[in-house]
Chains A and B, each alone.
Chain A
């Protein structure tokens, strides 16, 4: 029994963190709010250069041959900086199925109805009647939907009239692709929530009212302590789900749903308390806070909402005879 990451896994996380802090400061997220594709200038190439976009592709096929467990901490870093890129859709979902050499990819799996960045990727991996299809962008009919998070260029996707599709998986691949998407999304939410907590702790140490930092008041302390507790008891569920996916545990879908439900609620709490502790400054769009909050609202229901995931756990555990 050992529930901890290896030094290699931590080193990969640190390397990605270092790159993202440099390449994706909040100003980069802010510019993605109004630019043409909602994405960043240089992080995709930097991630490609580090190999993490094809980390799950076997080494023989040109990838790093890593597992979801190796990538879960990277997803957290992606969340921490609110990276506006289809990282989970490409690295955890599409590339893991089709390998390298297909350009950048998005995905549309499970109960998800909208595809993110479908207009600026080369292909989208879609689930169609228990089959996975890779559809080239030119074969897609896209209709833009406006997300509360303006970096997320969302589309309904119609591939019914194109020949440019390749069948790349069956029911088992569909289920696993969705579970990897939900896990990656959960880890991203954890990073987002952790950052909301961190910036709020910093802010409340500097903002003074009544002649004292507001972070010295118990009413403020207890809110942020609650966020810290919620994250403490979401994090291990995420790591365990990543482990279960990497070893094909028979209960991996249940483990994914447990963490997805837990972190979605923890992230909601982080948003509420971060905003409240920032006060009116946090309500302003001049503060960076709103971009992290809106990403949480977008992702917390992106791959099955908490009720959906709880029901998946309930069917497995409560209804079992």
Chain B
């Protein structure tokens, strides 16, 4: 065991910190989950890309720095510490890209990775359907083979698609073998949202942004090069994406470390009300929980370095960070007292977003089933 950073890692941290200090916009950008804000965030993504900070862990040929997982964790810590803008490219670079690296063809890597890192192609996730949420294998959208044209025709409806109204592309699962049931017979497709037959309708979320969308597909043609992985093997490919979504890549410890730091600062600033021992207890417990999450990640990254795969343990992580995030925002609102209801108090909007944590990326009820059945080995019903 050695919990110290190497000189190279310290240098990497210093370089990231210095660049962020010099480049993070001094004024907070409008929310990236609105159309104006999304455009402003893409300008920021281009700046990140130009300085090769957009995708530090990727190979240099796609705009990365070949950074280790350790360095990636360090970058994340510095990014959130600097209060840098939200990553509107996240569903591409954190969820789709690892899947393309694992299952994609060379042509797909060359075609999608760099534009995704640059923000010139932006990706949303087409998993959920009106009747397939937690029961994702209940997907009904279809992919019908078109041998003459050399591709597939997609039809159906995807919904609760984050930033779907602003993105250029969607990745999603479609039922390609109507005879197969449930997890079998699904295929993972990459879909340009400007293709004929695609209609996108944005709608509002709890936190006031229009970040949701439903995506209608009516006989949308995509060629064979838009299939990621093997035909009818989409479930396996998709599960690789959800592993990234629940665990390491989407919600790294740096995000929550920054929230805990802000909470401690709020506690110090607020004075009198902070003398409530229950609030003091809640603030310190947030610090302890965030530290636990950071350390658990260090253990996971060590295990990955030794050849292990995080796999289902990402379900433990997902329940923990999502519920921790709510507890921290709850505590902040309690510290704010009557000011909690003010929209610009720095916490209320994020509190509402935190409430989505136990729902997206597979509800926490589903995660608890996974933990019970696949980690503890409890019997299936």
Contacts and interface: CB of A to CB of B under 8 A. Distances in A.
A233 B296 contact: yes
Interface stretch (A34-42, A76-84, A85-93, A218-226): A218-226
Interface string B333-362: 000000000000000000000000000000
Contacts of B369: 218, 221-222, 225
A261 interface: yes
Interface in A215-247: 215-218, 220-222, 224-226, 228-229, 232-237, 239-240, 243
A1 B70 contact: yes
A280 interface: no
Interface in A61-100: 69
Interface residues of A, number: 44
Interface stretch (B36-44, B150-158, B194-202, B279-287): B279-287
A51 to B, nearest CB: 21
A112 interface: no
B368 A226 contact: yes
Interface string B51-72: 0000000000000000000100
A48 interface: no
A225 B320 contact: no
A311 B379 CA distance: 41
Nearest to A197: B376
B371 interface: yes
A222 B379 contact: no
B179 interface: no
Contact of A229 (B283, B371, B379): B371
B296 A258 contact: no
A310 B281 contact: yes
A226 B372 CA distance: 9
Interface string B363-380: 001011101110111111
Contacts of B306: 4
A5 B2 CA distance: 10
Interface string A3-28: 11110000000000000000000000
B283 A318 contact: yes
Contact of B372 (A4, A222, A262, A310): A222
A128 to B, nearest CB: 30
Contacts of B379: 205, 212-213, 215-216
A201 interface: yes
Nearest to B1: A243
Q: Is the interface of B mostly helix, strand, loop or mixed?
A: helix
Interface in B283-299: 283-285, 287-289, 291-293, 295-296, 298-299
Contacts of B320: 229, 232-233
B30 to A, nearest CB: 33
B378 A205 contact: yes
A2 interface: yes
A236 B372 contact: no
A317 interface: yes
A240 B292 CA distance: 10
Contact of B284 (A220, A236, A314): A314
Nearest to A221: B372
Given A224-B378, A225-B368, A233-B296, A2 B316 contact: no
A234 B299 CA distance: 13
A313 interface: yes
Nearest to A9: B1
B376 A216 contact: no
Contact of B1 (A220, A239, A258): A239
Nearest to A204: B378
A201 B291 CA distance: 28
Interface in A109-166: none
Contacts of A232: 296, 313, 316, 320
A298 interface: no
B381 interface: yes
A3 B372 contact: no
A69 B376 contact: no
A207 to B, nearest CB: 11
Nearest to A243: B1
A129 to B, nearest CB: 29
A1 B9 contact: yes
B267 to A, nearest CB: 6
B6 interface: yes
A189 to B, nearest CB: 15
Contacts of B136: none
A307 interface: yes
Contacts of A4: 1, 299, 302-303, 306
Contacts of A239: 1, 295, 299
A225 B298 contact: no
Contact of B316 (A228, A237, A311): A228
Given A232-B316, A236-B298, A1 B288 contact: no
B264 interface: yes
Contact of A318 (B6, B268, B299, B316): B268
A222 B363 CA distance: 13
Nearest to B295: A236
B378 A258 contact: no
Q: Which of A215, A225, A236, A314 has the most CB of B within 10 A?
A: A225
Contact of B302 (A3, A220, A222): A3
B371 A313 contact: no
A212 B381 contact: yes
A233 B6 contact: no
Nearest to A247: B3
B101 interface: no
A132 B288 CA distance: 30
A215 B285 CA distance: 31
Given A317-B287, A318-B268, 9 more contacts: A1-B70, A69-B1, A212-B379, A218-B369, A224-B372, A229-B319, A240-B3, A262-B292, A310-B281
10 contacts: A2-B3, A5-B1, A218-B381, A221-B372, A232-B316, A236-B292, A310-B281, A310-B288, A314-B280, A318-B267
The 8 A-B pairs with the shortest beta carbon distances in the complex, nearest first, are A221-B372, A236-B295, A225-B371, A225-B368, A3-B298, A233-B292, A314-B284, A215-B378
Interface of B: 1-6, 9, 70, 264, 267-268, 280-281, 283-285, 287-289, 291-293, 295-296, 298-299, 301-303, 306, 313, 316, 319-320, 365, 367-369, 371-373, 375-381
